[in-house]
Every structure is written in structure tokens, then in C-alpha cells.
Amino acid sequence: MLHYQAFLFGLLTRKEKNLELLQEYGLFLAKAVTLVAAIGVIIGLLVAAGHARRAPKQGYIEVRKYNDDVSDMSEAIEGLTMDKFQLKQRRKKQQKKHKQELKQAKQDAKSSKDKQEAKVDDGKPQHYVLDFDGDIYASDVDKLRQEITAVLAVANSQDEVIVRLESAGGMVHTYGLAASQLARIRAADIKLTICVDRVAASGGYMMACLANKIIAAPFALVGSIGVVAEVPNIHRLLKKHDIDVEVLTAGEHKRSLTVMGENTRKGKDKFMEDLQITHDLFKNWVSEQRPQVNIKEVANGDVWYGQQALNNQLVDALGTSDDYLQQLIKDQKSIILVSYEEKKSVGEKLGLAAAGVLQTLTARLWTQSRHNNIQS
């Protein structure tokens, strides 16, 4: 009996030691992940600070044919779902169709009497796809301006530019510049289509309303035609600790509101007046670009889901960017993805990689906590 008890005690002791070992390993892993994430954040901040002080770096335009990407994916799936005979027959059919299209194109060019006209007719319309992911500063505007410059150098009036736009808005002057970049496409008499898969609000909609056609996903958020400003003020806290802050200005309206000084009613009224002027400019901009919109009903700062936005004529059609591009492929249209890429240093690559790891870990922890809350 004593030997049996000693045996059980030994098993329990080993289990406890194993459990302690696992706990220590878990703590070590958590510390290691936290340390790596912290280092990544620090590197990212240092890189961002250094990047802000430096002049814009040289980059390059990356061009890829979307049709080829889709074709490669289709062929990969076909290779797994078809036998060799079926695959061979399909390839022959595709080759035969391609030869017939080339033959027809040559015949059409030959039948034209005017050689110049034949040259124009023979060129197929191109559809250029750009991406804009807007933060509060519209930081992607530098990338966008390079991409538009590249496209305008080769595009003509029969082509189309498709912008996959994602932005909840931000600073007025930066989004005004971003909208002006899109205006260059319209000024060149080239069709502009904006696809909104998730959100185009405030400054994002300021950009979107320039399009000949706006396509929004059914649950995309659109609108927010309004202006907001938040200014923290710690004057009472400073006053409580007998700290004086003198705000000196030359010019009556140089500073209407301040963070540390005392804000007056006159200053607040001036600030509200400036906000109202900005709102009026925003409303006039939307009215000029989309006269079909009842600006009095939609310019109250509200946002709408895709279907509601369609009812308010803020968008022209419902659908995702994938739907639109897939339809162009079915219609045998040529789609070219255009992206301006900046050359990144090793430090920047490390910072971006660390930031990506941190973002992934945060998302996983949030998902796990949501899952645990649902279960409980």
C-alpha cells in the first residue's frame, strides 16, 4: 500500500513539474513576443520619424496584367479538377479561340480604308486599376499622383481608370489634393470608375464623387458629408496647479482655439464659422460633381450603407470591385494593375515586418477574446 501511494505521489509530482514547465515556457513565450513587438514598434517609429525628415525617395511603377493573374489561378484549379484528356481538350479550345480573335482583328484592320483609322480601331481599350487606402493624412496621395501620371502618359479617351478606394476621411487639405489628382483623369477625358468595397466617407467621398460611376458594395459605408474638429483643452487643469500659459498672436484670427490657454466665446464662434465655411465648400463640391444628389438631405454628416447610398444617388450601382473586374474579363477586356512602389531600406522592411506581426497578434487576441465571450 505504501509503495502504491508513493507511486501515485511520484506521478502527481511529475505532472506538477510538467505543468510548471509549461507555464514557465508560456510566460517566456509571451515575454519574447512582447519584446519582439515592442522592438518592432520602436523600429517602426524611428523609421517613420527618419522618413518624415528625409526627402521623398525614388520609386518605380509596377505593372501587372490582372487577366493573367486570374488565368493562372484558373489553370491551377483546372489542373487539380480535370483529367489529362479534359485539360488537353480545354487548352486546344482556348488556343483555337485566341487564333480566331487574332485573325478577326487583322481582317478588321485590313478592311479599313483609312490607315490612321485602322490603327485607332485596332487598339483595344485598356482598363487601369489603381488602389487608394486613405488614412487621416491621405498619405497615399503621393503614391496616387505617381500612378496617375504614369497612366495619363499612355492612356487615351477610349480607356478607363478604375480606383479601388478605401477611406474614412481625414484632413481637408490633404484629401482636397487627393481629389485634385483624380480630377486630372477627368480633365484628360478618360472614364473614371470608383469602387468602394468597405468605406468612402467624408474626405473619401470627396474623392469618390469625382467619378463617372461609383460602385459600392451592399454594406460599404458611404457619405459623411460634414466637417468635424476636436481640440482638447487643459486650461483648467493648469490653472488648478497655478500654471499660467500666455498665448500671444499677431493677427486677430491667428489662433481661435488653443490647447493650453483659455478659450473665449469669440474664439469658439470664429472656429465654428471656419467649420461652416469648410462644410459649405464640401457641399458645393459634391453638388457640382453629382448634381443628381439632393444635397440638403445628405449633407448632415450621416453615413449610409450601399443600398441606402444608392437610394440617395450617392452611388450609381451596387457590387464589389471583384464583381466589376470579373465582368470586364468576361467581356474580354484588358485589365492592368498599376502600383507605385517606393524602395525601402532594410530598417524600414524590418519595421514594417514587426508592425505586421504586432497587428496579426492583436487581431488574433481580439478574435480569441470575442470567441471566449460568446462561449461564456
Q: Concatenate the DSSP letters of all residues of 107-149 into one string.
A: HHHHH-S-HHHHHHHHSPPEEEEEEEEE-TT-TTHHHHHHHHH
202 is a catalytic site residue: yes
213 is a catalytic site residue: no
Given 143, 167, 191, 202, which residue is catalytic?
A: 202
The three cell numbers locating residue 38: 515592442
Residue 196 is inside which H or E element, if any? strand 191-196
Report the C-alpha gap between 37 and 58 in whole angstroms.
29
Ramachandran category for residue 221: left, alpha or beta (phi over 0 → left; psi -120 to 50 → alpha)? beta
Given 240, 254, 330, 343, which residue is catalytic?
A: 254
- Which amino acid would we find at residue 273? E
pTM: 0.69
Check: CB of residue 44 under 8 Å from CB of residue 355. Answer: yes
Report the C-alpha gap between 44 and 18 in whole angstroms.
38
Check: CB of residue 354 under 8 Å from CB of residue 48. Answer: no
Taking only the tens of pLDDT, the chain with its 376 residues reads: 544 444 444 544 555 555 566 566 566 666 666 666 666 666 666 655 555 444 456 788 899 998 887 777 766 666 666 666 666 676 677 676 666 666 666 666 566 555 444 444 446 899 999 999 999 999 999 999 999 999 999 999 999 999 999 999 999 999 999 999 999 999 999 999 999 999 999 999 999 999 999 999 999 999 999 888 778 888 788 788 888 777 777 777 777 777 877 778 887 888 888 889 989 999 999 999 999 999 999 999 899 999 999 999 999 999 999 999 999 998 888 999 999 988 766 665 566 666 666 666 665 665 565 455 544 4
pLDDT at 75: 66
Q: How far is CA 137 from the centre of its chain?
A: 13
The three cell numbers locating residue 123: 487598339
Report the C-alpha gap between 250 and 248 in whole angstroms.
7
Longest dimension (CA), the chain: 110
pLDDT at 269: 81
Residue position matching grid coordinates 453638388: 287
The three cell numbers locating residue 275: 467649420
Contacts of 36 (CB under 8 A, 6+ apart): 354, 357
The three cell numbers locating residue 327: 465582368
Q: What CATH number was assigned to the domain covering residues 59-96+128-223+302-342?
A: 3.90.226.10
Instruction: Map out the domains of the chain as residue ranges.
Output: 2-54+346-375, 59-96+128-223+302-342, 225-301
Report the C-alpha gap between 236 and 245 in whole angstroms.
11
